[in-house]
Each structure stands twice: as structure tokens, then as C-alpha cells.
């Protein structure tokens, strides 16, 4: 069992077992009394144990890179009690074990005001976070923390690694010799690899993989780090656990070329293209809206709009252009769900419902049976069917 989550509270006594059972009760749920546990839950082949501990001194947070809001961190520092949520990693399957543990946490947070600490990922979540994580599509960024450390001198000094994969029964992932400019693309590659690992679909160590025109593989860190040059061993203090290291197919730590397919998402859209899409949206929006409102129930058309959404990466403020699948269209605003979600933060998660005012729309798109129509094909379809 791993104590994957800590729910800290300002209460000094636990909720009653009866209240907790009522909150967790659902079809297929079994309750077991385990020694030392407030309650042990069995569901979908997963076991989750819930224990309560009254704190006699202030809660100490480990690590200098805790991810969470100021309010959440302040709440944790004043904790007087803690629920320890333990589960068996990868039993019966990695993502199932984590989800069921979070489902128990969510039910518990309906009874107790608290802040959730993901112990392996050094993350703090509030109740709204937990609700979204358990309701929306899986996003590995909710479950891991990416840590960049300057490990050497030179133009590519960064060692980038994850924290949080332990609760999936998998090794964390790392890469060396990266520059600041490499970070967004490297994070995208690492997130993809960790998602596969979390679902038990990760590549076996030493198997050669393809990304674009480049090949790479994952090596156990105890094997891969022997070929590192110029990095003092003290760099790894506090990171003694096993990792999977991304290296080239030849075992080299120079992997910048592997990131080419992942850079496009983070490159700024050419201004001419932005202006062209905005002009197209202004011209075709009345026909686009009219066509959506008279679409057939079984029609294979998906209507997409793009708008700017404010995000706050690393405490700053920025805008990301996000695509929304239209679900309902009112007089001057529409409701839809985000297609991909924000690239730099988890503030706007994939699948979350949002409202977009028509005046914010800066691009439109159509898909037929999942395939995007070209600008010209979309124009032809909309104008050909425009009511007289």
C-alpha cells in the first residue's frame, strides 16, 4: 500500500464511520474494517484504506517545489488533522487504482473542509480540483509535477524530471541536456509518455520508439546515468528513486532533435493567419450559426469556434487560443466543451463546459466524421446552404 494522498483538515476528530459509509455508498462498493483504518473500501477490484491522524505539531511540507494556490498552502500549514488515503498502485490497473482513491477523497471532501496533498507529486488540490479531475477526461498534468533543475553549465543545462508516477506503479521519467527553449516541447513529450505509463501502455525499457524522423528509447536511470558527463552526483540528492531516462536510440543524452514534432503547438501563430481567421469568422459567423441551429440530430458535422482564454502559468497572466465544440447556441453566446484544453496550465481542462460570447470568437471550423474541412470547403458548404 502507498499513502498516495493526504487530506488535511482543521478538525481534530474524524467523521463518523457511518457518515463516511453513506457518502461512499454506491453499487459494487464493499466496506471492510482493517486494523488501524477508519474504513477500507473495495470497488472495481481496487482497495483504498482511509486512516485519520490527529496532528500534535504543525504539518511539515517536504520539497521546495510544492504546486498549489496560496490559499491551499496556507490551509495545509494550519492543519490539525490528516486523513491518509492509501491504495495499491497498479491494482487492478494503474489509472483505476488512482481514480478510485480520488473518488473516496471526493466523497470525504463533501463531509470535511480540507486540502488534498498528492504526496508523490508534491501537489495541493482543493475540492473543485478533485471534482474536475474525477469528472473530466484524464489529464496527466493533474497527477504529476514537472521539475526542471539546472544540473550543469552550458547552453543546455537542464535536467527535467517528473514526480508523481509512483502512485501509478511506474517509474518517473527524466531527460537531460535541455535548454529553456526546449522546455515546452519536452514537457509535451514527457506528458505523453507518462499518460501511456499511467494506463499500463508504456513502452518497455530499451525498445526503440519513433517521433517524427527521430528515434529514442527509455532506459532505467541506473543504467542511463552512467554515461552522463559533467553532472555532480549531489544533483540527485532527494531524487534517489528509480527513473526512466529518455535517450536517443544510440543511448546518447542529446535529445533536442526528438522534440521537433512537439514544438508546433507552442509556436506563435503567424499574425497574417490570425487576421485571416478572424476576418473569415466575422464574414461567415451568421451562416455558421444558422447552419448549426438547423443541423440534424444524426448529422456528422461538428461545429468548432476558437476564443482567447486567460491562463496564469507560473503566477503570470497569459492568453491561450482554445477551440470549443459548440453544444448549445443562444442569442449572443454559446455553450460548448473545450476540445484540447490549455497547453500551459490545467486551468481550462479538456472537456470542461464553457460559455463563449459571440464577440469573443476569432476563428471557426467544421469537421465531418471527425475530419476537418478546409477553409474553402467550409465556405462552400456554409454559403451554398445559406437560406435565401
Domain end (from 83, 109, 136): 136
Whether residues 186 and 132 fall in one domain:
no
> How many domains does the chain divide into?
3
Residues 7 and 124 in one domain: yes
Q: pTM of the predicted model, to two decimals?
A: 0.81
Return the pLDDT at 64. Answer: 57
Last residue of a domain, one of 119, 136, 153: 136
**What average pLDDT does this structure show over 141-147?**
92
Q: Is the preceding omega at residue 92 within 30 degrees of 0, hence cis?
A: yes
> Between these two residues, 237 and 122, which has the higher pLDDT value?
122
Do 246 and 162 share a structural domain? yes
Cα separation, 256 vs 178, in Å, equals 7
Please indicate, yes or no, whether residues 162 and 131 belong to a single structural domain of this protein.
no
What DSSP designation does 56 have? S
How confident is residue 385, by pLDDT bands cut at 50, 70 and 90?
A: low
Q: What is the pLDDT of residue 266?
A: 65
Given a cut of 80, whether residue 173 has pLDDT beyond it is yes
Give the rounded percent of residues in the chain with a pLDDT score beyond 90: 63
Range of the domain at 222: 143-265
Residues 183 and 281 placed together within one structural domain of the fold: no
Asked whether residue 149 falls in the same domain as residue 238, the answer is: yes
- pLDDT per position as a tens digit, 124-136: 999 999 999 999 8
At 7 the pLDDT is 96
Q: What is the pLDDT of residues 209-241, one digit of tens each?
A: 888 778 999 999 999 998 888 888 888 887 878
Handedness of CA 64, 67, 70, 71 (dihedral sign): negative
Q: 57-87 burial, b if ≥16 CB within 10 A, otherwise e?
A: eebeeeeeebbbeeebeebbeebebbbbbbb
Average the pLDDT over 86-112 and give the result. 93
Q: Which of 273-282, 295-304, 321-330 has the lowest mean pLDDT?
A: 295-304
Q: Are residues 252 and 296 in the same domain?
A: no
Q: Which residue blocks in 225-270 are alpha helix, DSSP H?
A: 260-263
Domain identity same for 48 and 124: yes
Cβ-count burial of 174 within 10 angstroms (0-12 exposed, 13-18 middle, 19+ buried)? buried
pLDDT value at residue 302: 95
Give the CATH number, domain containing residue 43. Answer: 3.30.310
Q: What is the mean pLDDT of residues 249-259?
A: 88
Question: Quick one: 330 and 232 in the same domain?
Answer: no
CATH of the domain at 371: 2.30.30
> How far apart are the C-alpha atoms of 202 and 175, rounded to whole Å?
16
**Which ranges of 138-182 does DSSP label H, i.e. alpha helix?**
none
Contact yes or no for 202/220 (Cβ under 8 A) = no
**Do 218 and 260 have their domain in common?**
yes
pLDDT of residue 82: 95
CA-wise closest residue to 65 among 244, 238, 225, 181:
238
Q: Do 12 and 129 share a domain, yes or no?
A: yes
Overall average pLDDT of the 348-365 stretch: 93
User: What mean pLDDT value characterizes the chain?
Assistant: 90
- Domain final residue, candidates 136, 157, 191: 136
- In the predicted model, is pLDDT for residue 267 greater than 80? no
- pLDDT, tens digit (0-9, with 9 covering 90-100), for 151-163: 888 889 999 999 9
- The answer on 131 and 10 residing in a single domain is yes
Task: Give the confidence band of 297 by pLDDT, cuts at 50, 70, 90.
Answer: confident
Q: C-alpha grid cell for residue 381?
A: 458548404
Amino acid at each position: 500500500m502507498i499513502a498516495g494522498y493526504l487530506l488535511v483538515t482543521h478538525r481534530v476528530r474524524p467523521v463518523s464511520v457511518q457518515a463516511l459509509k453513506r457518502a461512499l455508498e454506491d453499487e459494487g462498493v464493499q466496506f471492510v474494517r482493517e486494523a488501524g483504518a477508519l474504513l477500507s473500501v473495495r470497488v472495481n477490484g481496487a482497495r483504498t484504506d482511509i486512516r485519520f491522524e490527529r496532528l500534535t505539531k504543525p504539518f511539515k511540507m517536504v520539497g521546495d517545489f510544492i504546486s498549489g494556490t496560496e490559499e491551499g498552502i496556507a490551509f495545509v500549514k494550519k492543519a490539525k488533522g490528516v486523513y491518509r488515503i492509501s491504495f495499491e498502485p497498479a491494482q487492478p490497473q494503474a489509472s483505476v487504482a488512482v481514480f478510485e482513491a480520488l473518488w473516496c477523497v471526493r466523497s470525504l471532501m463533501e463531509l470535511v473542509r480540507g486540502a488534498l496533498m498528492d504526496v508523490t507529486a508534491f501537489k495541493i488540490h482543493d475540492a473543485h480540483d478533485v471534482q474536475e479531475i474525477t469528472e473530466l477526461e484524464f489529464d496527466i498534468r493533474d497527477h504529476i509535477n514537472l521539475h526542471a533543475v539546472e544540473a550543469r553549465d552550458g547552453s543546455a543545462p537542464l535536467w527535467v524530471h517528473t514526480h508523481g508516477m509512483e502512485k501509478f506503479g511506474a517509474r518517473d521519467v527524466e531527460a537531460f541536456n535541455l535548454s529553456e527553449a526546449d522546455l515546452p516541447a519536452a514537457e509535451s513529450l514527457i506528458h505523453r509518455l507518462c499518460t501511456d505509463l499511467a494506463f499500463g501502455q508504456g513502452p518497455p525499457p530499451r525498445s526503440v520508439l519513433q517521433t517524427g524522423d527521430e528515434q529514442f528509447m527509455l532506459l532505467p536511470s541506473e543504467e542511463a546515468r552512467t554515461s552522463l558527463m559533467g553532472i555532480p552526483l549531489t544533483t540527485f540528492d532527494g531524487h534517489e528513486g528509480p527513473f526512466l531516462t529518455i535517450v536517443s536510440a544510440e543511448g546518447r543524452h542529446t535529445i533536442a532533435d526528438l522534440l521537433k514534432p512537439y514544438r508546433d503547438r507552442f509556436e506563435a501563430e503567424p499574425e497574417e493567419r490570425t487576421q485571416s481567421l478572424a476576418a473569415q469568422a466575422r464574414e461567415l459567423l451568421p451562416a455558421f450559426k444558422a447552419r448549426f441551429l438547423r443541423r440534424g440530430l444524426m448529422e456528422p458535422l461538428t461545429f468548432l469556434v476558437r476564443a482567447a482564454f486567460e491562463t496564469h502559468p507560473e503566477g503570470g497572466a497569459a492568453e491561450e487560443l482554445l477551440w470549443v465544440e459548440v453544444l448549445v447556441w443562444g442569442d449572443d453566446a454559446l455553450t460548448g466543451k473545450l476540445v484540447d484544453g490549455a497547453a500551459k496550465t490545467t486551468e481550462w481542462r479538456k472537456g470542461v463546459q464553457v460559455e463563449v460570447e459571440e464577440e469573443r470568437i476569432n476563428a471557426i471550423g467544421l469537421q465531418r466524421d471527425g475530419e476537418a474541412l478546409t477553409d474553402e470547403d467550409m465556405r462552400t458548404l456554409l454559403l451554398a446552404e445559406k437560406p435565401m
